Structures are given as structure tokens and as C-alpha cells.
Structure 1
């Protein structure tokens, strides 16, 4: 084709054809992996401080002049806002069980609405140190944006958000490592258990590799272990024989839904159950529209009822001591991890999942005070 013919084709291109070509180009760019696009994408600039808090509920959170829900509002924050966590104090919030407030430079925030977080970026790895096909990682920054590698979205939570993120303390499986032209390292997140099939890319600095040593069993040779969950007092205790070796507050099955209606089906079932499955991380979903849930990266999961009831890590609230789950036992990440390591069966690093038959593992006793 000579230059004259080529020029004629270009000038006679219709607006519709030009738009098609533009869309094709944009589509090709979108299909390019995020790490290969050559566009610098810096990590978020979080506040400084040893301890931070992330607004972990939808809608707005009011910052109060005093640790009193009826005191003047001095500022308003929205979901995923991150603030310095100076200290926790006891205040006044009538008609609420939790009376804790977090003091921040701006004022006081009701503690259940703030997830305790930290900003601890990591040096990216270029190879998997502990298993041939991947590694377990934990998010160690308040949040990290993730980018879908295999659209369209499949998970309900992913379809309902325009800003997909992972949050502090979530546990995921990484199965690929790539470095972009700008030098940034990206991890490919591919959930091993419970996934709808979505795969993501995320900046590697946000994730701390979990070592096999830190999931090693605690007191594995001790007999007569049992976990007691009290749904009246919202507590969890671990016993070796008659000696209590661990105690914490938890959140068990909610008694009421968001509309204030009684919901018996969310109750954590009272009784004694052996652990039948444990997973380092799992994608959890269930329920129905409006009352359902869909949550990726749930760490340190200990299943003890066949319907899926478990003890597990929690990142979406800080309201321990109050019933608010769909039947599971919500625990702080560090508490869930301790129970995961202390109970039987033992879970190997790879594959990070164990299922056993009867008589099962450590007994979980769910009691009513």
C-alpha cells in the first residue's frame, strides 16, 4: 500500500470506525496486566503512628468533642478513613453495650467503628521461600487496592464495590510474583479455598509473608484441651484440663438484624462439637440479599459445626463483646490465630487445610453462661 492510499483510508475513516478502533485500543490496554502497564501506582499515604484506626463501617462516623455520643460532633469521617489511634478510653454511649472510645488528634470515635490497624510495608520477595507453588501472606497496611486479573467479577462482594480492597490482617495465598517496568513488584492473589474464581494483582509491599514457624502448634502434646464459648457473656476461654490458659472477648451469633427484628437462625448453636476442619484462610459467603455476607481472606478458620459455624479472624468490626455474627465466633486476628495454633488437628503450611473424621479434633463447648 503506497502512502497516498494509506492517507486516503485514514481521512475517510468514519467517526463510528474511529470510535471502534479507540475502544479496541482501550480494551487491549485494560487486558494488559496491571503490573505491565508502565504506570506508576504509589502506595497510599497513611498517617504516621505506631497504632492506627480504620473506619470499618459503611456510611459516616462522627468524631466527638468528648468520649460521649451526645457530645458535639467536631468532624465526620467515612469508610476506610485512617486516623492515628492515641489511646482507648471508657466513655458514654447510651443504649450500647460497648462504652469504649478511641482518642484521636481530631477527637473521640466510638471504638466499635474503628478497626485497629498499623502501617507496616514490607520488602517484596522475588521467589517463594516456603512452598513451591506459592506462599501465605497477611496484609500489614490499613488497606491495599487490588486489581482483577480475570474479569468479569464473580464474587458478590466484588460486584457490589467500585473500589476493591483488602484490609489489615486478611490472610491470602500468593501464587505469582511479577515486576513491572517501573520496578514495582506485584503479587497475584489467588484464594485457595471457597473462592468464586476471582484472581487479583496487588502491590507486594502490602503483604507480609507468613512463615511455617509462626503457625507451628502450641502445646501439641497436652491432652484434654477444650474451648468454651459463652454466648451470654460473649467470651472464649481455652482449657488444658482444668487450667484456663487463654481468655478473650468475642462476637457470636447476632440476636437481631439491622432492622431490629429477632433472628433465631443466626444464633451460635449451644452444645459440644469436635473440630472437623481447619484452614489458614478461606473465602466465606452465605445468607440472602440484604442479610447475606461475602468475605474474602478470612484467616485462622476453625470449623466445628457441619453447617459452617467456625471460630475465625475478623477485620470488618471492632465490637467484641456484642453478638453480631451470622453464627460464627468472630475473634480478633491475634486471638483467632492463637486458637488456630493451639487446637487440633495440626495444619501444615502447604496446603494450609485439614479435614478429619470422627471423633474429630479439639472439643468446642458453646454454653449459655
Structure 2
């Protein structure tokens, strides 16, 4: 059951009570004041970006757009390239370079008041369906991302495990948010309206009787195709491993491994971390993940950029949330809602061919 944006904001303004009074939280809760539009965009960079009068860097700057600012997304247009992509987002006030803007929606939900019993204990899988939701850790965080960010938040399309519910002194329903897989132990609370329960029906396999399923990832064209025999049944743009480091130097360290692979693990959501201090990554709630390489390369959902068609990952195959979910449901092995995680022992999964020529 959906609730109105006005009701969602009213609940958010009521605050999170004592949970947010933990001493390590040195900031006031930011209240959502998002535009009222069906399609929105979020500045998904870690800093500010410029809104331009026209879709080119040479045009006048209209204003600065700060991290996590939500804007109205009118349409995507073709303009002058800043790096590789030529895509820009048109807003009512100007144009913003599309790779910096995550497409989001604001769809608050009616909180549930009880959780089902599963083999994992009481809980449910849920997806963030608002641009972002502030989180309030239950104890001192162990994850690097929680220690480094100014405003701990979860973002549109992330998938998490909910394992407890409570109502604070202001009458707001809170979910206790957990990560079943890959988490160091962090647990946090968040406004329940920001999460949509994922149903078992959403995980039903697509074309379960189809033969000879195969995934082809083309690194040259930055595309992914799903085949049933010789028939291409799905196509999308992806972002594979980056060919350059943060200084612009050519590197092979982030290359997506070429060759034929079999999935060794599929999971609804996982916490990924790696790399060296200062240059590494630590990302929670990565949905619809298919791990296919021993070093951790995977096909998965992406919420931290919108640069599909351009190589820019640390070796994984980044896909939009919609594309990643379709591929996850279509490919083998099938992953049931409970436990939402499957390890492969031997052959049998959908072959993933990564080609570079």
C-alpha cells in the first residue's frame, strides 16, 4: 500500500527519537524536501556539480548542485561530451551531465507492522523506493563507509534485510536494517516509509524452461546480451572495469576478466569492499548480484553512477537496477526468497562469456 509524499514527509519530520541521540552522530537529521515530480534525479557524486544553461561545458553555469540534491528529471538529451558520454539530463532550470545523476523516484510506502518467519529468522527483503533515507546506526560502526560519510544514508534501489520493527516516541515506525551477506556487523534504524517489501513472486524465474541460456558481456561496446540458443532475448548497456586510474593513467588492475565463466554465487544483496586505503571501496546493499570470478567480479545493480556504456568499475559489470534484476531472475541457478543466497557447487549455472574483440 502506497502513502502520499505529504504523509511521508510528515512522518520524517517527527524525527527518530532517542536512536539519533547517539554521541557519534554529530549532525542534525536532514528532512526530505524533494520536488513533486514522477521522475527525479540525484547528484550521486561525492561533491558538487554544475548545472549548465545548455548541454555543454562551455555554456554558463546556472548554479551548483550539491551532493544528494534531488532535481526534476525532464528528459535525457545528447550534448557535448565531458569525458566519453554525451548524455545530459534536462531539468526545469538547466542541464546536468547525466553520468553524475542517478535516476530516482519518490514512492513512500505504508510500513508493515509484523515480519514473517524465515530460515534466517524473522525478517524480509526490502528495496529503497525513495531518493534516499537517513540511517541511524545502533552502535559504533565498523564499516569504512559509515565512518567516512557526513550523512549516513541508503539510496534508491538498494536492497537490504529488515529484521525488526519499532515505533519511536513520536509515533514513527522504524525498521532495523541489516545486511545478511558481506556485512561486518553494522545494524541501523531507518524510517520504514522508505522501504518496499520485496515479494516472493518478484523472484520467480524468467523463461525457466528455455534451453542453452548464455550471457555475453562485450567490453568493447560496453553491452550485455542474454541468449537462449541463438536468440537474443535481452540487451542492455553496462559499465565494466575501468581502463584508467583516478589520475587518468592506463591500468589493467580493474579489468573485467575475459573468458567463459560460471556463476559461483548469486545473492539478492551483498556488501562489497576492497582495494587499498584511500583508493578502495566499501558499498552496502548491492542488489541482484551474480558473482562469476574467484576474485569477486560480478554482475550487479548500481546506484552510485549513471554512466552505463562507459567502463568505470573496479572489475565488476555494473548494470541499472532494472537490468540487473531481470538478468538475476532469468539466469541460472534460481535463487529463492529464503534464504536469498545460493552457492554453486560444480557446473550448472548460466555461462557468462566476457569478450573483448
Q: TM-score, length-normalised on structure 1?
A: 0.88
Report deviation, 1:41: 7.0
Aligned in 2, Cα 1:336/1:59: closer, same or farther, shift over 3 Å? Answer: same
Give the aligned partner of residue 169 of structure 1: 157
* 2:262 equivalent to 1:274: yes
2:216 to 201, 216, 228: 228
Provide the C-alpha distance between the structure 1 equivalents of 2:56 and 2:29, rounded to a whole number of angstroms. 40
Aligned in 2, Cα 1:50/1:334: closer, same or farther, shift over 3 Å? Answer: same
1:133 to 114, 122, 126: 122
Provide the C-alpha distance between the structure 1 equivalents of 2:58 and 2:47, rounded to a whole number of angstroms. 19
Greater C-alpha Rg: 1
Give the aligned partner of residue 350 of structure 2: 362
SS at match of 1:45: coil
Provide the C-alpha distance between the structure 2 equivalents of 1:121 and 1:59, rounded to a whole number of angstroms. 26
Aligned in 2, Cα 1:44/1:66: closer, same or farther, shift over 3 Å? Answer: same
- 2:242, 2:313 within 8 Å by CA — same for their partners in 1? yes
Give the aligned partner of residue 144 of structure 1: 133
SS at match of 2:253: helix
Give the aligned partner of residue 67 of structure 1: 55
1:67-91 per-position Cα deviation (integer Å, ceiling 9, x unaligned): 1121111111111000000111111
* 2:181 equivalent to 1:193: yes
The 5-angstrom pairing of residues 35-184 of structure 1 reads 44-93=32-81, 96-129=83-116, 131=118, 133-150=122-139, 152-184=140-172
1:243-279 per-position Cα deviation (integer Å, ceiling 9, x unaligned): 0000000000001011112221110010000111100
Report deviation, 1:43: 5.3
Provide the C-alpha distance between the structure 2 equivalents of 1:321 and 1:244, rounded to a whole number of angstroms. 19
Provide the C-alpha distance between the structure 2 equivalents of 1:292 and 1:139, rounded to a whole number of angstroms. 25
Unaligned runs of 5+ in 1: 1-29
Provide the aligned length of Structure 1 versus Structure 2: 335
Provide the C-alpha distance between the structure 1 equivalents of 2:233 and 2:52, rounded to a whole number of angstroms. 38
Provide the C-alpha distance between the structure 1 equivalents of 2:21 and 2:248, rounded to a whole number of angstroms. 46
- 1:57, 1:316 within 8 Å by CA — same for their partners in 2? yes
1:305 to 293, 300, 310: 293
Give the aligned partner of residue 11 of structure 2: none
- 2:300, 2:324 within 8 Å by CA — same for their partners in 1? yes
* 2:272 equivalent to 1:284: yes
* 2:341 equivalent to 1:348: no
SS at match of 1:315: coil
SS at match of 2:209: coil
Provide the C-alpha distance between the structure 2 equivalents of 1:232 and 1:85, rounded to a whole number of angstroms. 30
Give the aligned partner of residue 333 of structure 1: 321
- 1:35, 1:180 within 8 Å by CA — same for their partners in 2? no
1:263-296 per-position Cα deviation (integer Å, ceiling 9, x unaligned): 2111001000011110000000001123210000
Aligned in 2, Cα 1:243/1:269: closer, same or farther, shift over 3 Å? Answer: same
Aligned in 2, Cα 1:186/1:42: closer, same or farther, shift over 3 Å? Answer: farther
Provide the C-alpha distance between the structure 2 equivalents of 1:306 and 1:115, rounded to a whole number of angstroms. 30
Provide the C-alpha distance between the structure 2 equivalents of 1:178 and 1:87, rounded to a whole number of angstroms. 40
1:115-142 per-position Cα deviation (integer Å, ceiling 9, x unaligned): 0000110000001257461000000011
Provide the C-alpha distance between the structure 1 equivalents of 2:46 and 2:30, rounded to a whole number of angstroms. 25
Provide the C-alpha distance between the structure 1 equivalents of 2:279 and 2:254, rounded to a whole number of angstroms. 10
Provide the C-alpha distance between the structure 2 equivalents of 1:130 and 1:226, rounded to a whole number of angstroms. 35
SS at match of 2:174: strand
Give the aligned partner of residue 261 of structure 1: 249
1:165-207 per-position Cα deviation (integer Å, ceiling 9, x unaligned): 0000000000001112221100000110000111000000000
SS at match of 1:266: coil
